Amino acid sequence: MSSLLVDDIGELVTNDVGGEGGPLGIRRDVALLVDDGRVAWIGPSRDAPAADRRLDAQGAAVLPGFVDSHAHLVFAGDRAAEFAARMAGQPYTGGGIRTTVGATRAASDDELRATVRRLHGEALRQGTTTMEIKSGYGLTVADEARSLRIAAEVSEETTFLGAHVVPAEYADRPDDYVSLVCGPMLAAAAPHARWIDVFCERGAFDVDHARAILACGQAVGLGVRVHANQLGPGPGVQLGVELGAASVDHCTHLTDADVDALASSRYDCMCADSLHTTTVATLLPGAEFSTRSPYPDARRLLDAGVTVALATDCNPGSSYTSSMPFCVALAVREMRMTPAEAVWAATAGGARALRRNDIGQLGVGARADLIVLDAPSHLHLAYRPGVPLIRQVLRNGVPQ
Ligand SMILES: [Zn+2]
């Protein structure tokens, strides 16, 4: 593999924890050498080593690619009419998931694959270089397995969400559905998944069912994530911390005890790396935007010392956006995160939420997943909302 010098970088966001330059590890007026898909060197252009190719950043800002740690891309149909009804005043209840389940079961593999690839490509053009993808609109053994098989064609971060909602045919016997999820469905899904997730919410899965399902997933080696405290207060966040979840997602309705649990979360992962020892709170402001709901209190989490990530929650019902720059802008404007906090949460925070330290940062040795902005600074992501600011995307050092 050839080497590439990204030259004339005006502002380089490294997120390098050991480095200088504030929480984003900002370096100015530097070049960055990519060798064999990794960051091999950073320094002044005049000292740059020879490289096979050169990419001129023309004084622009360069950031780690966004890490979108929460997305539901495997589905069929859309719910534009439901969105319109909601904007006309109807509340969001989560019940529309069953509409998408019906359409997804009826779709062919190729239809599902086309949607996954379209949305994954759309996200990539907006700077997302890692995207977690969940199942959860199949809800049969065969449909969950094929959803994950198709997701795994484009991402290594795949999540089994058979416990998204109890499907209509099990409405009167949720215990039987939990047995199905923990038994044959998990067995069929696990070979294609890295994670297991549960929608722990009133109207979806209660805490006992959620704990049972997540424990079954852990027993076969899957990491834990939880949809928690989105529609109201509940036990999901503390269950996630109890089980050593990598991330609890939504966190819109939190008690002091929830915040304390997250702030003191530690998980013995039998590894020395402290990056891997916290349950991240992943905030999904696209969902509050699209359901016209109050945003989570990001400041309360950050001020308590909780690790915060931002993700899109891309799905056809409650957040049909694949845009991490949009989520950064929402986090700054609506959730009072600083631009630096929001950019960190959308890159390094997402990496933490996936227990990865090779992405979400651009220190020497990191994967060369990076974006060149059409702007001189990361501030512009929030300062110029809705504008296509992603000029160039590199994944594994390869221009996309
Ligand atoms: Zn979700």
Query: Over the stretch 8-19, which tens digit does the pLDDT of each residue have?
Result: 999 999 998 666
Q: How confident is the model at residue 2 (pLDDT cuts 50, 70, 90)?
A: confident
The torsion region of residue 197 among left (phi > 0), alpha (psi -120 to 50) and beta comes to beta
The sign one gets for the Cα dihedral 125, 126, 129, 132 is negative
Beta-carbon contacts of residue 101 (< 8 Å; ≥ 6 apart): 137, 138, 139, 165, 167
Q: What is the mean pLDDT of residues 304-314?
A: 96
Mean pLDDT (the chain, rounded) = 94
- Exposure string (b/e) for 371-392, b if CB count within 10 Å is 16 or more? bbbebeebbbbbeebeeebbbb
**Cα of 71 from ligand 1 centre, angstroms:** 6
Beta-carbon contacts of residue 245 (< 8 Å; ≥ 6 apart): 214, 223, 224, 225, 226, 279
Q: Is residue 300 over pLDDT 80? A: yes
**Cα of 210 from ligand 1 centre, angstroms:** 15
**Cα of 328 from ligand 1 centre, angstroms:** 17
Q: How confident is the model at residue 91 (pLDDT cuts 50, 70, 90)?
A: confident
**Cα of 31 from ligand 1 centre, angstroms:** 38
**Cα of 314 from ligand 1 centre, angstroms:** 8
Length of the chain: 400
Q: How confident is the model at residue 63 (pLDDT cuts 50, 70, 90)?
A: very high
Residue 329, token pair as written in the block: 């802008």
**Cα of 293 from ligand 1 centre, angstroms:** 15
**Cα of 319 from ligand 1 centre, angstroms:** 9
Q: Is residue 92 over pLDDT 80? A: no
Q: Is residue 35 over pLDDT 70? A: yes
Residue 380, token pair as written in the block: 């512009």
**Cα of 70 from ligand 1 centre, angstroms:** 6
Strands 247-250 and 223-228: parallel
Q: What is the distance between the alpha carbons of residues 358 and 16, in angstroms, rounded to a whole number?
A: 11
**Cα of 311 from ligand 1 centre, angstroms:** 10
pTM of the complete model: 0.96
Q: Is residue 267 over pLDDT 70? A: no
Q: What SS3 class is residue 264?
A: coil
Nearest to 10 by CA among 33, 26, 25, 34: 26
Q: Is residue 185 over pLDDT 90? A: yes
Q: How many CA atoms, within 13 angstroms, populate the side-chain half-sphere of residue 254?
A: 27
Q: How confident is the model at residue 277 (pLDDT cuts 50, 70, 90)?
A: low
Q: Mean pLDDT lowest for which of 69-83, 218-232, 266-280?
A: 266-280
**Cα of 318 from ligand 1 centre, angstroms:** 9
**Cα of 315 from ligand 1 centre, angstroms:** 7
Q: Is residue 365 over pLDDT 80? A: yes
**Cα of 18 from ligand 1 centre, angstroms:** 33
**Cα of 165 from ligand 1 centre, angstroms:** 11
Q: What is the distance between the alpha carbons of residues 184 and 182, in angstroms, rounded to a whole number?
A: 7
pLDDT at 276: 47
Please state, for a pLDDT cut of 70, what percent of the chain lies above it.
95
Using the structure block, give the residue that is written with the tokens 């010392």: 305
Q: Is residue 149 over pLDDT 90? A: yes
> What type of residue is 59?
G
pLDDT at 22: 75
